[in-house]
Structure 1
Amino acid sequence: MKPEKLDSSPSGHPKGLYVLFATEMWERFNYYGMRAVLVLFMTKALLLDKVFSSNLYGSYTGLVYLTPLIGGFVADRYWGNRRSIVTGGLLMALGELILFACASVYQSAPDLSTFLFFSGLGFMISGNGFFKPNISSMVGQLYPAGDHRKDAAYTIFYMGINVGGAFGPFICGLVGDTGDPADFKWAFLAGAVAMLLAVIVFIIFRDKHVRDPEGALLGLEPEHGLEKKKRPNQVLVYLGLLIYSGICVGLLYVDAQKFSFLSYLMLAAIVIIAAMIFLDPKLSSAEKKKVLVIFIVSFFVIFFWSAFEQAGASLTFFAEEQTQRDLGFFVVPASWFQSLNSTFVVIFSFIFALIWMKMGKREPSAPTKMALGLLFLALGYFWIATGVKDAGPGIKVSMIWLIGMYAFHTWGELCLSPIGLSLVNKLAPFKFASLLMAVWFTANAIANVLAGKLSSLYPEAGKTTSFLGYEMSNLNEFFMLFVVMAGVASAILFLMTKWLQKLMAAQD
């Protein structure tokens, strides 16, 4: 196909950005909608206890962010972004349909339901591994090197994520979190429909609009990939995908039911990736310094996401049991509170983008913004810790405390997540673009596993939990744990920013 002239929208951004925006929006509707009801489904329908549900939630979300290592590698070496995105989307849609079946038979066939539950989560995990790193890395490829619009593009893309993240919990909560556990199946079905819409949008518009600045198609199979005569039979490819998804099911089951090994697996993955990149003789010294920055900031985001991701676990328990949700004429579903963060992102994303633009040369560096993000997170937990300080056991508190906390967390996220995505894209050598984007998501994976373990410490009436010698017997003490954790990480990152800026500016 002959390259076409790059088309741009009236905003000055390529139209391909909005194709990726819409694709990611529907996929995030699927993911966040399902996540909003996941621990509620486990505790209310499957009747699992909170400690097990929290740890399983952490294992699931951890693997969701770990499998992009495989998806990024396959895309970089063999498939390209386009094929990986479609494959991942279809696997996730299948996963949601399996969960729909699970929620339809959990009462009549509990053993089958358990098998379907782990299988559905496994397919969601495997599909996300192909989808997530590839669509994120394609955003930066729409622009020429050094284009100042990249930060704004990732903020716009991030808003697409959060439009889906806002509507997903709202719609899935509306149809699934009704008070009747039998209705959870409709939340999973809504997620499947949204995921199929994401795939359809991408397939229809990718050839016309998802192109590089010269007009060439983006995301095709890499030149150094498999030659046509060496490509395996398609039946073997699909059989391989089935086996891969089965492995994800097995990993989740073993980690949840037998022994927890994900932390060691993730550490091994980081060491292997670091060795692959830093031992590559074709990378210059300056490139390696920039890659080092990616690894360092990825370490710090672990502290952010392990606290932030309480939204799907302990904060859902808090919303369900200890937040006054009765408006007199309507009881707000606990799952709806997970729409707050994404709704606030949609409201505030352009404000933050405008702030950075107006600051001009005084705009903080990316590491400084990320340190600010951790500070806002700590302030959010301090806000809600203050709200529950004098609340006795069984006393429900106003929704304003959760709403205010999510506002602080959103401001923190806007300082950290889109900035981090853009930073990785700008610093990563082209040949490792998807793989280093996957490193960013591996930090999320570690954080999510830790989030599940921290959520399992949620103190219920008469129960005292402990973390590294710090005992928690009430919600104030539980939330203060995150204040200290995020606050200390923020202070350390602030102190490191000038050194990190020197590494980012390294030249050969």
Structure 2
Amino acid sequence: MTSKNPQEILKSIPQKGFFGHPKGLFTLFFTEFWERFSYYGMRAILLYYMYYAIKDGGLNLDKGTAASIMAIYGSLVYMSGIIGGWIADRLLGTKRTVFYGGILIMAGHIALSFPGGVTALFVSMGLIVIGTGLLKPNVSNIVGDLYDKEDPRTDAGFSIFYMGINLGGLIAPFIVGTLGQKYNFHLGFGVAALGMLVGLIIFLATRKKYLGLAGSYVPNPLSPEEKKSVFLKMGISAIVVIIAGAILISNGILTIDGFIMLVSILGIIIPTIYFLVMYFSKKTTSQEQKSLLAYIPLFLAAMVFWAIQEQGAVILAQYADERTRLSFAGFSLQSSWFQSFNPLFIVLLAPVFAALWMKLGKRQPSTHKKFSLGLVFAGLSFLNMIIPAIYAGPDTLVSPIWLVLSFLIVVFGELCLSPVGLAATTRMAPAAFSAQTMSLWFLSNASAQAINAQIVKLYSPETEILYFGIIGGIAVLLGVVLFFFSSFYKKRV
């Protein structure tokens, strides 16, 4: 199917059967649930696998290098969504793109489930980066195809879908983390692969009956001549990259640190190019240019926020493993379990924040003020970590309560910033660049993690007062500045 006929698509989908929603939501809910289970389960133990000693089942990498790799990994995952969107729009359609993405993700986890050293690590990361780029943005697009534009169930449907994302991320660290840390890392990675397999089975078994024609169309297909040209260019580019990479690596020019620096630079260059192309395009009106200028501080604020939030899986994960007393109220804890607190607090608090904004109505803070609150909360989550550092010092294990409190505070910020950022992006995007602007929003996270790759190297127990203090203080300061300038930007939204 190469063209979108909304009514034809809707007629092909059973419109009730999953909590009063289209049956296709069942398919997408559990596909995304198991994909997030596999991703967050793997991520909960990946840092430890990289820096644990070989005798403990790890790769014995330097801790700073391992932290940088984690950050670059997250950055590439978000960057790859641009490619996944293009493939769905021009070649395969979202349904097939999602399926192939799941296959690659599962293959990436399988590569890690067998001992293969650093080579297997990078092969796995490459497969999961590409696979997630194919699956993650496109599965959300299929959800939109399930509903008519005027369907009042749409927002609730996306909320249910979002719940599936967080439930997968919530339970994964407990299962995969326990197996990986208590028994064997490769067993944990194997269970992550099994989770993605379950998701693929559900997708295959129900997609025809429940999804109908949703996601089967190619919105802007390439002509046969364009396909030949594109495939030729892609093939030549791939060969050039492989040959150049092999030469640079074999001669010691392209090292792990060099690659990390390259991605860090791209994390700044790519969104800058996006902004410039949209701003100076003839298709962008003068009013849209003003909106783009007002969007820049939101993008920068989002970068600072995600730079802190994403360190929950890097620096705070290391903190949980080395600086935290892993027992509470008589129970033994695994350091990987702390990765469940972010999705847990989102599940509990998202309805509260949604109700709060509804109740406030026109009295609720403006978009820029909500972003400023997000920044302040993010900064406070790091400033909170100074307290145990001051009182306990770098050599004493601290109560797990401090980490839990940090995760809770940053979730307050996330709920002020993340859903609002999606809405602001759709509202402020130039009409001719609506899809690209949404890609730009996700690039704020990619850019943040690309920058993190350089920052996380500076952390150690001895430097944590300065580390948490400087980063947290900068975020709070920027949040206050944005708050005071919010009235100026409000006129341009």
Q: TM over 0.5: same fold? A: yes
- CA offsets 1:379-425 (integer angstroms, 9 cap, x no match): 22232322332112321111111111111111211122222223334
Once the two structures are overlaid, the 10-residue window that deviates more, 439-448 or 1-10, is 1-10
Whether 2:79 is the aligned partner of 1:74: answer no
Shift of 1:92: 1.4
| Map of 1:94 onto structure 2 | 107
Relative distance call for 1:226 and 1:359 in structure 2 (3 A) is: same
TM-score norm. by structure 1 comes to 0.82
TM-score norm. by structure 2 comes to 0.84
What SS does the aligned partner of 1:407 have? helix
Whether 2:126 is the aligned partner of 1:122: answer yes
Whether 2:225 is the aligned partner of 1:225: answer no
Q: For 1:144 and 1:289, how far apart are their aligned partners in 2?
A: 32
Q: Pick from 475, 480, 483: which aligns with 1:494?
A: 483
What SS does the aligned partner of 1:441 have? helix
Identity %: 35
Q: For 2:203 and 2:140, how far apart are their aligned partners in 1?
A: 14
User: AA paired with 2:394?
Assistant: P
| Map of 1:42 onto structure 2 | 50
Shift of 1:124: 1.2
Segments of structure 2 that go 5 or more residues without pairing to the other structure are: 2-7, 53-57
Shift of 1:342: 0.8
Q: For 2:143 and 2:307, how far apart are their aligned partners in 1?
A: 26
Once the two structures are overlaid, the 10-residue window that deviates more, 198-207 or 121-130, is 198-207
Q: For 2:200 and 2:238, how far apart are their aligned partners in 1?
A: 19
What SS does the aligned partner of 2:477 have? helix
Once the two structures are overlaid, the 10-residue window that deviates more, 196-205 or 405-414, is 196-205
User: AA paired with 2:490?
Assistant: Q
- CA offsets 1:327-353 (integer angstroms, 9 cap, x no match): 486531111101111111111111211
Q: Pick from 26, 35, 39: which aligns with 1:31?
A: 39
Q: For 1:486 and 1:218, how far apart are their aligned partners in 2?
A: 40
| Map of 2:343 onto structure 1 | 342
| Counterpart contact for 1:76–1:432, Cα < 8 Å | no
How many residue pairs get matched?
Answer: 475
| Counterpart contact for 1:86–1:131, Cα < 8 Å | yes
Shift of 1:491: 1.6
- CA offsets 1:112-147 (integer angstroms, 9 cap, x no match): x22111111111112222222323445556556688
What SS does the aligned partner of 1:133 have? helix
Shift of 1:459: 2.3
- Show the 5 A alignment for 1:128-277: 128-140=132-144, 154-178=158-182, 183-206=184-207, 217-218=214-215, 220-222=217-219, 224-227=220-223, 231=227, 254=254, 256-258=256-258, 260-277=261-278
Whether 2:96 is the aligned partner of 1:83: answer yes
Q: For 1:122 and 1:249, how far apart are their aligned partners in 2?
A: 14
Shift of 1:315: 1.0
Once the two structures are overlaid, the 10-residue window that deviates more, 418-427 or 375-384, is 418-427
| Counterpart contact for 1:26–1:164, Cα < 8 Å | yes
Q: For 1:309 and 1:277, how far apart are their aligned partners in 2?
A: 28
User: AA paired with 2:126?
Assistant: G
Relative distance call for 1:305 and 1:119 in structure 2 (3 A) is: same
Relative distance call for 1:69 and 1:337 in structure 2 (3 A) is: same
Once the two structures are overlaid, the 10-residue window that deviates more, 60-69 or 40-49, is 60-69
- Show the 5 A alignment for 1:447-458: 447-458=448-459
| Counterpart contact for 1:345–1:410, Cα < 8 Å | yes
- CA offsets 1:149-195 (integer angstroms, 9 cap, x no match): 766555444332211111121111011111x5xx0011211221222
User: AA paired with 2:218?
Assistant: E
Q: For 1:236 and 1:291, how far apart are their aligned partners in 2?
A: 35
What SS does the aligned partner of 2:69 have? helix
Q: For 2:100 and 2:289, how far apart are their aligned partners in 1?
A: 32
| Map of 1:469 onto structure 2 | none
Q: For 1:188 and 1:312, how far apart are their aligned partners in 2?
A: 17
Relative distance call for 1:72 and 1:369 in structure 2 (3 A) is: same
Whether 2:471 is the aligned partner of 1:482: answer yes
User: AA paired with 1:30?
Assistant: S
Whether 2:71 is the aligned partner of 1:58: answer yes
Once the two structures are overlaid, the 10-residue window that deviates more, 169-178 or 432-441, is 432-441
Once the two structures are overlaid, the 10-residue window that deviates more, 22-31 or 430-439, is 430-439
What SS does the aligned partner of 1:459 have? coil
What SS does the aligned partner of 2:326 have? coil
Q: For 2:237 and 2:197, how far apart are their aligned partners in 1?
A: 18
| Counterpart contact for 1:76–1:435, Cα < 8 Å | no
Relative distance call for 1:491 and 1:314 in structure 2 (3 A) is: same
Shift of 1:206: 4.5
Q: For 1:298 and 1:344, how far apart are their aligned partners in 2?
A: 24
Segments of structure 1 that go 5 or more residues without pairing to the other structure are: 106-112, 462-472
Once the two structures are overlaid, the 10-residue window that deviates more, 160-169 or 138-147, is 138-147
- CA offsets 1:215-237 (integer angstroms, 9 cap, x no match): x7346211x3223686569x999
User: AA paired with 1:91?
Assistant: L
Q: For 1:173 and 1:296, how far apart are their aligned partners in 2?
A: 37
| Counterpart contact for 1:75–1:434, Cα < 8 Å | no
Q: For 1:350 and 1:407, how far apart are their aligned partners in 2?
A: 15
What SS does the aligned partner of 1:503 have? coil
| Map of 2:4 onto structure 1 | none
CA RMSD of aligned residues (A): 3.6
Q: For 1:308 and 1:8, how far apart are their aligned partners in 2?
A: 37
What SS does the aligned partner of 2:221 have? coil
| Counterpart contact for 2:304–2:475, Cα < 8 Å | yes
Q: For 2:87 and 2:233, how far apart are their aligned partners in 1?
A: 12
| Counterpart contact for 1:72–1:130, Cα < 8 Å | yes
Q: For 1:378 and 1:128, how far apart are their aligned partners in 2?
A: 29
| Counterpart contact for 2:267–2:451, Cα < 8 Å | no
User: AA paired with 1:165?
Assistant: G
